Amino acid sequence: MSLEKLQEIRMMVDLKSGSARKPDRDAKRLLLYVFTGTRGGFTRLQLIKILSDTPMNKNQLALEMSLDYKAIQHHLDALEKNNLVTKLGEKYGATFHLSNYLETNILALHDVVTKLERQMSRKIVYI
């Protein structure tokens, strides 16, 4: 994931977070684990950004992200297991959107994106 994509995600989070209250510590810990402590965290973060704009089903997400359907299914299962996305409907037509838990703890996501931006800007590229 590039720094530009992280900045897009940060703008989405900034728009959704209107309050100035302190982020929940447990939510921040969960988000750090899901997005930085596991493989595929950047892909999951991109899924969150896409789903914040519009709910989609697995096939639509696979086309949008140019990824395999099974990969999208895996990442959505991980996000759903951690209560970050919610599924409406059944089988292939089920659409996914951000969960109330994630929307309530959007400030914790802001902190996670900030941490990722700092990590990305510190990386040294050797030629």
CB 46 within 8 A of CB 1: yes
From the first residue on, what is the mean pLDDT of each consecutive set of 10 residues in the chain (127 residues)?
66 60 82 86 90 92 94 94 92 89 87 80 58
Domains of the chain: 3-122 (1.10.10.10)
Element (H, E) at 88: strand 85-88
CB 112 within 8 A of CB 32: yes
- The β-bridge relationship of strands 95-98 and 85-88 is antiparallel
Tell me what pLDDT residue 14 has.
Answer: 62
Q: Is the pTM of this model over 0.95?
A: no
